[in-house]
Amino acid sequence: MPFDSTEVRAAYENFIRVGDSGDWSAWADLHTVNGTWVEHSLGTFVGREAIRTAIIDVMASAPRSMYFPVEFAMFEGDRIVYYPWQCLPDPAGGDEVYRFGCVTILTYGGDGQFSYQEDVYNPAEGNAVFRRWIKAGGVMPRPPG
């Protein structure tokens, strides 16, 4: 069943808003109960609760100041492809850029939720950005526990 483009766009805009909030449990709720998240560096997670566990775990080790501005988004039916930068603020308070690119593919599953997400990026590039950021004074959060 095709979804109305207004519904798909509204779900995407909410997805971006919730991701920007840093509430990763709420972000997981935007995936269908049997949804799939393919994260090329971490693996494939099937089911909302597996997605929730994975995102909360990975983001616990990321700085809370990380942010994800969207360069562009394309919509075709229930599919969205967008390019969110993975950004860290300049630890020196200047305008040095610490970011790496990502392509995210979403498939809308109805009721404001997505049935599929795939994040495509170069983990080596991400690691290099984090190393450069830490060398400039960035501080990673302490692992929970």
User: What are the structural domain ranges in the chain?
Assistant: 5-82+105-120
Helix H segments across 22-136?
24-28, 48-60, 123-135
Going residue by residue through the chain (145 aa), what tens digit of pLDDT does each one get? 589 999 999 999 999 999 999 999 999 999 999 999 999 889 999 999 999 999 999 999 889 899 999 999 999 999 999 999 999 999 999 999 999 999 999 999 999 999 999 999 999 999 999 999 999 999 998 766 6
* pLDDT, position 2: 82
Enter the CATH code of domain 5-82+105-120.
3.10.450.50
Task: Catalogue the E-assigned strands of the chain.
Answer: 31-39, 43-46, 70-76, 79-84, 86-88, 98-100, 103-110, 113-120
Q: Which one-letter amino acid corresponds to residue 75?
A: F
* pLDDT, position 145: 60
| 104: number of Cβ within 10 Å | 20
* pLDDT, position 1: 59
Q: Whole-model pTM? A: 0.92
